[in-house]
Amino acid sequence: MVTIPRTGRTNTRNSARSGGAIFGRRATRRRPAIESVGWKTAAYVCMLAFTVLTIAPLVWLAYSSFKPHPVIVRNIFSLPESLYWENYTVAWTRGTMGIYFVNSIIYTSTATVLTTLLALSAGYGLAKFRFRVSALVYGAFIMGLLVTPHSVLVPLFILETRVGIDNTRAGVILPYIAFGLPFLVYLATSFIRGIPDAFEQSALCDGAGYLRIFRSVIVPLSTPVATTMLIFAFISNWNEFVFVFTLTSSPALRSLPVGINAFAGGMTRDFGLQFAALIIGTVPMIVFYIFFHEQIARGFAAGALKG
Amino acid sequence: MTSIQYRRASYVTLVAPAFFVYAAVIIFPIAYTAYLSFVRWQGFGAPQWVALANYTRMLTDPVFLHGLRNNLLVVGISVLGQIPLGFVLAYVIYRRMVRAEKFFEVMIFLPITISPVVVAILWNQIFSPAGAFTAIVRALTGNPTYIMRLFEDRTLAIAPILFVILWMYTGLYMVIYLANLQRIDPEIIESATIDGASEPQIFTRIILPAMVNIIFTTTVFAVSGSLKSFDLIWAFTQGGPAHYTEVIAIYMYRHTFRFYNYGLGASTSMAIIVLSVVLICGLRAIARYLERRYE
């Protein structure tokens, strides 16, 4: 329980340097290579095996989604003879994927932007105002990394019913934000700690208030970490399942993962339709991954870099 | 307004919004869950204080115990599978043992962006009796009557799920370790090579010591992440057949949202928290012990 705060705090002094290493350009110096032929062969076998195992199921899923159900059942690995688009049109209309898509976009964009803003502003307060209560607040946020969504579901459900936001979009977005905060506050605080105090001081001398400094000094300087935070929050919000699944009962409020689970995991036994639904849910993330692979990898790595 | 008051007001304006949301959605509900775990309550009427009855019922329920066992297997595959494998893959890329390393890195990391629900349904298809796995085994062994039946076996039903968890998250650890390996100064390794150090020596004397901390941190993440696993297994099997692939989080969900047994659900939630704290403290003790031995 005490481990994570420790890892976050011991490296306070280093965060400027290591922050540069994480968020700046990658080191261009050549890494030392192993030249032994035996090791290289073993390495190739290992990498190829893993890559094939990773990609083959997805490729199979992609081309099978263009085959009608009877063909999939009869000949499971054959390539489609013609592109059977009907899987997609039927899955889209009968599975009401359009609604889920819109919902997913609303939930994800709202929660992602709000979480990042809240985390940045809290990060500024926790990193630069040396109040004693900060240690306690920061510790409370970090503990949140260990909390499972399930352990708060029942009280949260009761609370939302009392307040009257159960079964609404706000009722979903709120827990998205709360569960995104611990990790993003951690990222923001350790990055902002590395920003030299001189920036803040000179702005203060120019007569700027703290909120003004946050807006026009801290936020612009934090762009690298903010990108990582946005991407990280985007992925976890887009794929989130439990909150929508338990806190909403109306199908009109479902997000893509919950909708796909209801449709492909139960409503239809037609493999073609199931596969098309899965592809509909996967393609946006694959496109996102192609464009932002580098930042995604850096974001996930940054989370654990402080070890 | 004096400057200290102004500083304080600004501080509150900056930190309070985030902390308020966090407290309302996480801190307060957790305290409430702790209370609920000691009462019997169906969602209406007055909760009835039952002390430890929920806990004893949970701990004597064979379904819970089987779920606990499955959970520990998920922890095991994460700590003993994903982490070493991810490390090997990262090391292969780091020491430039393969060409097109970027390609491999991108491909192996890909599953992490896909929704666990999609991954689960895809693999459920592959492992279904008429699915791709059956077809592949038939083709490889030449036995046309083979049918994938692992899910009918209480002991082994969890195996396909463990495999998928390994498949999905190994790339994540690879990326984390790779980023950390790249922070090791290459000159240290170069000068060690010039001084005649062998590959295994470089690995155990330079690489491993530099990576001990990050391995520990990722292990903590792996443990707490494994105990939380719900969506993947839920979309895969819903814990079935006959609770064979159940994990604690599914047990908790079923009792809370299907049977409205809020007390039992809450005590199961507490069990998840307690278990992750205990496992992480255990890990810390091991890490300390190793540190002392090798220093």
Residues in chain B: 295
**Contact state of A3 with B253 under an 8 Å Cβ cutoff:** no
User: Is B92 touching A (CB cutoff 8 A)?
Assistant: yes
Is B18 within a domain? no
User: Is B274 touching A (CB cutoff 8 A)?
Assistant: no
Q: Strand ranges (DSSP E) for chain B?
A: 39-40, 48-49
Q: Which residues of chain B have a CB within 8 Å of the CB of A166?
A: none
CB-defined contacts A:B, below 8 A: 314
CATH number assigned to the domain comprising residue B147: 1.10.3720.10
**pLDDT for A50 beyond 80:** yes
The angle formed by the CA atoms of residues B49, B59 and B162, to the nearest 5 degrees, is 130
pLDDT in tens, A53-94: 888 899 998 888 888 888 888 877 788 888 888 888 888 888
Going by pLDDT thresholds of 50, 70 and 90, the confidence category of residue A8 is very low
End-to-end alpha-carbon separation of chain B, Å? 55
Higher-confidence residue: A24 or B121?
B121
Give the pLDDT score at A54: 86
Residues of chain B with pLDDT under 70: 1, 294-295
The angle formed by the CA atoms of residues B292, B82 and B165, to the nearest 5 degrees, is 140
Nearest CA in chain A to B187: A32
User: Is B163 touching A (CB cutoff 8 A)?
Assistant: no
**Contact state of B269 with A151 under an 8 Å Cβ cutoff:** yes
Which among A47, A294, A53, A304 is positioned nearest to B96, based on CA atoms?
A47
Going by pLDDT thresholds of 50, 70 and 90, the confidence category of residue A21 is very low
User: Is B278 touching A (CB cutoff 8 A)?
Assistant: no
CA of B154, closest CA in chain A: separation in Å?
22
Q: Which residues of chain B have a CB within 8 Å of the CB of A260?
A: 115, 117-118, 121
Give the pLDDT score at B62: 92
CA of B114, closest CA in chain A: separation in Å?
6
Is B44 within a domain? no
Best of B10, B194, B198, B279 to disrupt the A interface by mutation (most A CBs within 10 Å)? B10
Nearest CA in chain A to B176: A301
Give the pLDDT score at A109: 95
Best of A15, A31, A187 to disrupt the B interface by mutation (most B CBs within 10 Å)? A31
Give the pLDDT score at A3: 34
CA of A198, closest CA in chain B: separation in Å?
17
Q: Which residues of chain B have a CB within 8 Å of the CB of A129?
A: 7, 10-11, 14
CA of A144, closest CA in chain B: separation in Å?
8
User: Is B95 touching A (CB cutoff 8 A)?
Assistant: yes
**Contact state of A140 with B22 under an 8 Å Cβ cutoff:** yes
How many structural domains is chain B composed of?
1
Give the pLDDT score at A24: 42
Query: Between B22, B25, B94, which is nearest A156 by CB?
Result: B25
The amino acid sitting at A224 is: P
Q: How far apart are CA A139 and CA A2, in angstroms?
A: 9
Domains of chain A: 95-267 (1.10.3720.10)
User: Is B263 touching A (CB cutoff 8 A)?
Assistant: no
- As given in the structure block, the two tokens for residue B113 are 């962006």
End-to-end alpha-carbon separation of chain A, Å? 15
**Contact state of A54 with B110 under an 8 Å Cβ cutoff:** yes
Do A282 and B110 meet the contact criterion of CB atoms below 8 Å apart? no
Nearest CA in chain A to B177: A301
Is B196 within a domain? yes
B contact residues 177-236, partner A, Cβ 8 Å cutoff: 178-180, 182-183, 186, 189-190, 193, 199, 213-218, 220-221, 224, 227-228, 230-231, 234-235
User: Is A298 touching B (CB cutoff 8 A)?
Assistant: yes
CA of B86, closest CA in chain A: separation in Å?
11
**Contact state of B214 with A304 under an 8 Å Cβ cutoff:** yes
Q: How far apart are CA B186 and CA A31, in angstroms?
A: 6
User: Is A236 touching B (CB cutoff 8 A)?
Assistant: no
Proportion of chain A in helix, strand, coil states, percent, rounded to 5? 80, 0, 20
pLDDT in tens, A131-162: 989 999 998 998 888 788 888 888 898 888 88
Nearest CA in chain B to A270: B125
Is B126 within a domain? yes
pLDDT in tens, A243-297: 998 888 888 899 999 988 888 877 777 888 888 989 988 888 889 888 888 888 8
Do B213 and B180 meet the contact criterion of CB atoms below 8 Å apart? no
Q: Which residues of chain B have a CB within 8 Å of the CB of A178?
A: 21-22, 24-26
Q: Which residues of chain B have a CB within 8 Å of the CB of A297?
A: 105, 109, 175, 179
pLDDT in tens, A164-221: 888 899 999 999 999 999 989 988 998 898 888 888 888 888 888 899 999 999 999 9
Query: Between B126, B214, B230, which is nearest A242 by CB?
Result: B230
Q: How far apart are CA B262 and CA B40, in angstroms?
A: 7
Nearest CA in chain A to B97: A40
Give the pLDDT score at B77: 92
Q: Which domain holds residue B251?
A: 53-294
Q: Which residues of chain B have a CB within 8 Å of the CB of A36?
A: 199
Which H or E run contains B219? helix B208-228
User: Is B106 touching A (CB cutoff 8 A)?
Assistant: yes
- As given in the structure block, the two tokens for residue A210 are 């703290």
Going by pLDDT thresholds of 50, 70 and 90, the confidence category of residue A304 is low
Give the pLDDT score at A30: 61
**pLDDT for A6 beyond 70:** no
**pLDDT for A29 beyond 80:** no
Which H or E run contains A276? helix A271-305
User: Is B272 touching A (CB cutoff 8 A)?
Assistant: yes
Q: Which residues of chain B have a CB within 8 Å of the CB of A286?
A: 110, 113-114
